[in-house]
Amino acid sequence: MITIAMAEDHQMLIDGVKSFFEYDDEIQIIGTVNNGEDLVKLVSLKQPKLVITDIRMPRMDGINATKHIKKQFPHIRVLALTMFDQPDAIKQMLDAGASGYLLKNSGIKMLSKAIVTVANGETFFDPNVAFNFMNSYIDENVTIGKSEKVILSNREKEILQLIAEGKTSKEISEALFIAKTTVDTHRKNMIRKLKLTNGNELVKYAIDKKYSF
């Protein structure tokens, strides 16, 4: 089990991440806070396997919080989750002791991959920052996330949004004034396009897109 403490000053993002991993058998969020000072206290109290932290936060930023955490608990892994893609920010976070760097617009599926990679003692980089930074700082022993674009129709996107809101096929059909069988067909097509295996995975994907960073 990968236990996680998370620091993020936007509660909506925290709620989205917690919702996605609520029933995950491998990943467990054991505590969340909204600033760096409280993160250091939380880590000291619960000693999770992994810390997810933003960089810019009130009272103490993620860079200084990471320095404190790594000094006290060098075995605890740190993953940065931020909007900053500047090389200076990345370097400061890595120098502080982080083992992963992910942008908030990457989506929860890539976050899940980053969590497992970093928890296993490896380094993970968002593909949108890795190649700009590769030559100067990142060595070859890292995992770089892969961006995969899937083209959904406008109707499929509408249905996906309603699935994320917890609506059934019948409720979706009524909301969009289409037959329930049409909704079911769209569901099957999306499962095929997205290379998923069943409806439950489609629901997870829908939630992922609803809470995209």
72-111: pLDDT as tens digits: 999 999 999 998 888 888 889 999 999 999 988 887 888 9
For the cut 80, the answer to whether the pLDDT of residue 167 exceeds it is: yes
Read off the pLDDT band of 50 (50, 70, 90): very high
For the cut 60, the answer to whether the pLDDT of residue 119 exceeds it is: yes
Q: What is the pLDDT of residue 126?
A: 85
Instruction: Give me the mean pLDDT over the 110-116 stretch.
Output: 92
Higher-confidence position of 89 and 60: 60
Read off the pLDDT band of 37 (50, 70, 90): very high
Q: What is the pLDDT of residue 211?
A: 44
Higher-confidence position of 207 and 163: 163
Q: How many CB atoms lie within 10 A of CB 35?
A: 18
> Distance of alpha carbon 26 from its chain centroid, rounded?
15
Q: How many CB atoms lie within 10 A of CB 147?
A: 11
Instruction: Give me the mean pLDDT over the 109-131 stretch.
Output: 86
Domain ranges of the chain: 2-144, 154-210
Q: What is the pLDDT of residue 157?
A: 87
Q: Domain 2-144: which topology? A: Rossmann fold (3.40.50)
**Residues listed for the chain:** 213
Higher-confidence position of 207 and 186: 186
Radius of gyration, CA atoms only, the chain: 19
Q: What is the distance between the alpha carbons of residues 80 and 112, in angstroms, rounded to a whole number?
A: 13
Percent of the chain whose predicted confidence (pLDDT) is above 90? 55
Measuring CA to CA, how many Å separate 148 from each of 46, 91, 134, 156, 202? Answer: 36, 26, 20, 18, 16
Per residue in 130-150, pLDDT tens? Answer: 555 544 444 445 555 555 556
Chain mean pLDDT for the chain: 86
Q: What CATH code is assigned to 154-210?
A: 1.10.10.10
Whole-prediction pTM: 0.65
Q: What is the pLDDT of residue 213?
A: 34
Q: Looking at residue 106, what DSSP letter applies?
A: G
Say which range, 61-70, 145-154, 165-174, 202-211, has the weakest mean pLDDT.
145-154
